[in-house]
Structure 1
Amino acid sequence: MTKKLVKILAPVVVIAVSAGAYALLQATRPEPEKNSDGPRPTSVYTTGVSQQATALEVITQGEVRSRTEIDLVSQVGGRVVSVSPEFVEGGRIEPGVPLLQVEDADYRLALSQARSRMADAELAVQQALADQDVARKQLRNDPNASDLALKKPQVAQARALREAARASLEQAELDLERTRFTLPFAGRVASTRVHIGQFITPGTVLGKVFGTELVEVRLPLNNQQLASLGLPIGYIAPAGGGLPVTFSAQVAGEIHQWQGKLVRLDASVDADTRMLYAIAEVADPYGSAASASGMPLAVGLFVDARIEGRYLPSAMTIPASALRAGNMVYLINGEDRLEIRGVTVAHASTERAIISAGLEPGERVITSAIRNPVEGMALVAVDAEEATP
C-alpha cells in the first residue's frame, strides 16, 4: 500500500517542485534595459554639387571606312601580260601607276587603221572643197544653180565622214590607253581576282580597292547626344571646320588615338534604329594622321569616338553615380535627412552628369547605394573624396 502511494505522489511532488522553481526564477529575473535611442542612421557617401564652365562631351562608336571604295573593272578585253607587285591584298596604289597591263597588239593595229581612215577622210574633205570651188566658178553666172551642182552636200558628207573617222581614232587611242589599268587616287588593294596570263573581257571585276586620302567614321547619335552637340539635323560644316573628334582603339595590345573632325549630320533619322548618324573625317590616315606611335587609322577598325560638344559657361556637375533612374538624385539636407529630388539632365556620361535645373551649388548629393530609400530617413554623411584612399 505504501509503495503504491509513493508511485502516485512522486510525480506530483516533482511537478510541484518544478513549478515552484520556475516561479522563483521568474520573480528574481533582472529587468531588461530599455533602448531609448531611435533607429540607427544609415551611413552614405556624399559629394558636393559643383558649378563650373563645362564643355559637353559625346561618347559613341563607329567603324572606319574609306570615302572612296570601288571595284576595279576592265573596260577592254585581252590577256593579262603584266601585273604590278603592288597588286596584292594590302598593296599600295599610287595615282597613275599601272597595276595591270593587257596585251595591246590588237589595239595598236586598230589605232593604225583608225589613223589611216582619218587620213583618207581628210583627203576626201580637201577633194570635196576643191570640187566645190571648181563648181562655184563654173556656175557663177547661173543664179538658179542647185546646191547639188555647187557640191554643198558632197562637202557636208565629206566633213561628216571626217568627224566619224576622228571619233574612231579617238576611240582607238582610248582603248589602247585602257590596256593599262591605273587609278586617279592613292589607295590600297583590298582584294584581287585576276592573275598574269588570264584572259579578261570588258566588265570583268579585277579586284577591289579603296582610297587612303580620306577615311570616314559613321557615328550613331541618340536624341540626348544630339542635344549635347547643339547641331541641327542635316548640319554641314564649313570648309576646314567641324567639331573636334578624338578616336581611340586597342590595336596590337596598345591604346592608340587619332584626331578628326565631325563634318556633317545625316538629313534624316534612321527608320530602323531611330538614331541619327554623324560623319567624322580623318585626312591621310595612313600618313600624317597616324597615332603618336605610327599606327594608321586602318579601314575596318572599330573605334570609340569622343566628340567635343557645346560649351556651357555655368553648369551643375555631379558624379554619374549620383544620378538615379528616372533622372532622380538623393540629397542629404541640413537635418541629415534623405531628400529625393527630380532634376533636368543636360548631359550624362559614364563619369559625370551635367544638371541644368534642380540643384544648387554646394548641396550634398549621395553617391552610394541606399537600400529601401524612404524620404526623410536619418543619414550619416561620409565624404566620398575623403573616403577614397
Structure 2
Amino acid sequence: MASRILKILAPIAVLMGSVGVYALLQASRPEPEKNEESARPTTVYVAEVVEGSSALEVQTQGEVRSRNQIDLVAEVGGRIVAASPEFVQGGTIVPGAALLRMEDTDYRLAVREARARVAEAELAVQQALADQDVARKQLRNDPNPSDLALKKPQVAQARAMLEAAKAGLEQAELDLDRTSVSLPFHGRVAETYVQVGQYIVAGTPLAEVFGTDLVEVRLPLTDAQLAALGLPIGYTAPEGGGLDVAFSAQVAGQRHQWQGRLVRLDASVDPDTRLLYAIAEVADPYGSAASSNGMPLAVGLFVDARIHGRDLQNAMKIPGSALRAGNIVYVVNAEGLLEIRPVDVAHASPDTVVVSGGLKPGEQVVTSAIRNPIQGMALATVSRKEG
C-alpha cells in the first residue's frame, strides 16, 4: 500500500519541483534594458511657399501646318513643254514665277482669231451707227417713227456683238496666260504629279504645294487651361495682337525655339474629346521667324507650346512636384511634423502650381516622395532649388 502511494506522489513532487525551479529562474532573471530612443525622422526635400504676382502659363502641343495648302490643278489642256528646276519635291515657289509651261500655239492662234472678231464687230457697230444716222435724216419729217425704222435695234445688236467679241478675246488671252502655271504666294512643293512631255487636260492635278508666308499650329486646350488664358470661346485677336506663344522642338539633335501668337479660339468644343482648340500663327517661318540656329518652323513638325496667360495677384507658388492627387500638399509644420493638407489650385503645370488658398507664405512643402505618409509623422527637411 505504501509503495503504491509513493508511486503516485513521486511524479507530483517532481512536477512541483520543476515549477518551483522555473519560478525561481524567472524571479532572478535580469531586467531588459529599455530603449528610450524615438523613431528616426524621415528625410524629405522641401521648398518654400512664395507669395507674389504670377503669370499663368499653359503648356500644350500641336502640329505645324501651312495656312495655304492646295492641290495645283491645270486650268487649260495641252502638252507640257517646260518645267522649272524648282518643280520638284521641296522646291521653292516664288510668286508669279512659272513652274510649268504648256504648248501655247493653239492658244496664240485663238487670240489672233478673237482680235479679228473684235475688229469685225467694231466695224459692224460703225456701220450700224451710220445707217442709223441716214435713217434719222430720212425720217426727220415723220412725227412718230418706229425704233426699227430708226435702226435702234440694229445698233444695239451690233454693240452686243462687239461686247461678245471682246469677251471672247479676254477669254482667249486668259487661256493663253494659263499655259504658264504659277502661284501668287511664296511656298514649297510637297509633291509633283506630272512631268515634261505629258499631255494633260483642264482639271488635271499637277502638284501639291503649301505656302510659307504663314504657318498655323492648332493647340488643344482643357477647360482649366482655357481659364488660365482668360479668353472667351470664339476669341479673335485684334490685328497684330494675341497672346505670346513660345514653340520648341527637338530637330537634328538640337532643341530649337520659335515665337508666335495665339490669334483665335474655336467657336465650339470638340464633341469627341471635349477639348477646345486654339490657333497660333507664325509669320515667315522659313525666313525671319526661324530659330536662332536658322532652323525653320517646318510644316509637319510636332512642337511643344507655352502660352503666356493671365496674371494673378497675391497668389502662392509652389513647385509642380509638391502637388499630389490633384489638390493635396504635404506641409512640414513648425514642429517638424507632417500635415496632409488640401489646397485650392488656381493653375497647375508640370513646373509650377499656383495656389489661391490653403497655404501661407514661408511654409515648407514636401517635393520628394514619402513612403506611407501619416499625419503627424516626424520629418527631417533638406532644401533644394527646384527646376
Q: TM-score, normalised by structure 2?
A: 0.91
Shift of 1:252: 0.6
Whether the aligned pair in 1 keeps the contact of 2:338 and 2:379 (CA below 8 Å) is no
**Partner secondary structure for residue 316 of structure 1:** strand
User: Residue type matched to 1:385 in 2?
Assistant: R
Whether the aligned pair in 1 keeps the contact of 2:56 and 2:309 (CA below 8 Å) is yes
Q: Which residue of 2 aligns with 1:258?
A: 258
Partners of 1:48 and 1:199 in 2: CA distance:
74
Shift of 1:380: 2.3
1:109 matched to 2:113: no
Partners of 2:40 and 2:186 in 1: CA distance:
72
**Partner secondary structure for residue 384 of structure 2:** helix
Q: Which residue of 2 aligns with 1:335?
A: 335
1:380 matched to 2:386: no
Q: Which residue of 2 aligns with 1:66?
A: 66
Whether the aligned pair in 1 keeps the contact of 2:41 and 2:380 (CA below 8 Å) is no
User: Residue type matched to 1:353 in 2?
Assistant: V
State the percentage of identical aligned residues.
Answer: 70
Whether the aligned pair in 2 keeps the contact of 1:46 and 1:381 (CA below 8 Å) is no
Partners of 2:262 and 2:37 in 1: CA distance:
61
After the TM superposition, which of the residue ranges 324-333 and 202-211 deviates more from structure 2? Answer: 324-333
Shift of 1:384: 2.5
After the TM superposition, which of the residue ranges 351-360 and 28-37 deviates more from structure 2? Answer: 28-37
1:45 matched to 2:42: no
Q: Which residues in structure 2 correspond to 1:345-356 (within 5 Å)? A: 345-356=345-356
Q: Which residue of 2 aligns with 1:165?
A: 165
Whether the aligned pair in 2 keeps the contact of 1:47 and 1:385 (CA below 8 Å) is yes
Partners of 2:118 and 2:18 in 1: CA distance:
139
Shift of 1:52: 2.2
Q: Which residues in structure 2 correspond to 1:174-253 (within 5 Å)? A: 174-253=174-253
Whether the aligned pair in 2 keeps the contact of 1:290 and 1:297 (CA below 8 Å) is yes
Partners of 2:78 and 2:15 in 1: CA distance:
121
After the TM superposition, which of the residue ranges 324-333 and 211-220 deviates more from structure 2? Answer: 324-333
Shift of 1:41: 4.0
Partners of 1:90 and 1:46 in 2: CA distance:
52
Q: Which residues in structure 2 correspond to 1:317-332 (within 5 Å)? A: 317-332=317-332
1:286 matched to 2:290: no
Per-residue CA deviation, residues 213-263 of structure 1 (Å, 9 max, x unaligned), is 111111111111111111111111111111111111111101111111111
Q: Which residue of 2 aligns with 1:3?
A: none
Partners of 1:289 and 1:360 in 2: CA distance:
43
Q: Which residue of 1 aligns with 2:9?
A: none
**Partner secondary structure for residue 360 of structure 1:** coil
Q: Which residue of 1 aligns with 2:275?
A: 275
**Partner secondary structure for residue 232 of structure 1:** coil
After the TM superposition, which of the residue ranges 27-36 and 84-93 deviates more from structure 2? Answer: 27-36
**Partner secondary structure for residue 79 of structure 2:** strand
Shift of 1:329: 1.2
Q: Which residue of 2 aligns with 1:118?
A: 118
Per-residue CA deviation, residues 42-97 of structure 1 (Å, 9 max, x unaligned), is 44332221112221111111111111111100010000001111000000010000
**Partner secondary structure for residue 315 of structure 1:** strand
Q: 5+ unaligned residues in a row in structure 2: which ranges?
A: 1-13
Shift of 1:305: 0.8
Partners of 1:171 and 1:233 in 2: CA distance:
46
Partners of 1:257 and 1:29 in 2: CA distance:
78
**Partner secondary structure for residue 161 of structure 1:** helix
Whether the aligned pair in 2 keeps the contact of 1:244 and 1:259 (CA below 8 Å) is yes
Q: Which residue of 2 aligns with 1:5?
A: none
Partners of 1:333 and 1:312 in 2: CA distance:
26
Shift of 1:285: 0.7
Q: Which residue of 1 aligns with 2:299?
A: 299
Partners of 1:71 and 1:155 in 2: CA distance:
47
**Partner secondary structure for residue 169 of structure 2:** helix
**Partner secondary structure for residue 89 of structure 1:** coil
User: Residue type matched to 2:346 in 1?
Assistant: A
User: Residue type matched to 2:96 in 1?
Assistant: G
Q: Which residues in structure 2 correspond to 1:79-98 (within 5 Å)? A: 79-98=79-98
Pairs aligned (count):
376
Partners of 2:292 and 2:337 in 1: CA distance:
51
After the TM superposition, which of the residue ranges 90-99 and 334-343 deviates more from structure 2? Answer: 334-343
Partners of 1:72 and 1:267 in 2: CA distance:
31
Q: 5+ unaligned residues in a row in structure 1: which ranges?
A: 1-13
Partners of 2:230 and 2:63 in 1: CA distance:
23
Partners of 2:380 and 2:230 in 1: CA distance:
37
After the TM superposition, which of the residue ranges 363-372 and 189-198 deviates more from structure 2? Answer: 363-372
After the TM superposition, which of the residue ranges 165-174 and 49-58 deviates more from structure 2? Answer: 49-58
Partners of 1:17 and 1:304 in 2: CA distance:
86
Partners of 1:368 and 1:294 in 2: CA distance:
40
Shift of 1:348: 1.1
Partners of 2:232 and 2:299 in 1: CA distance:
28
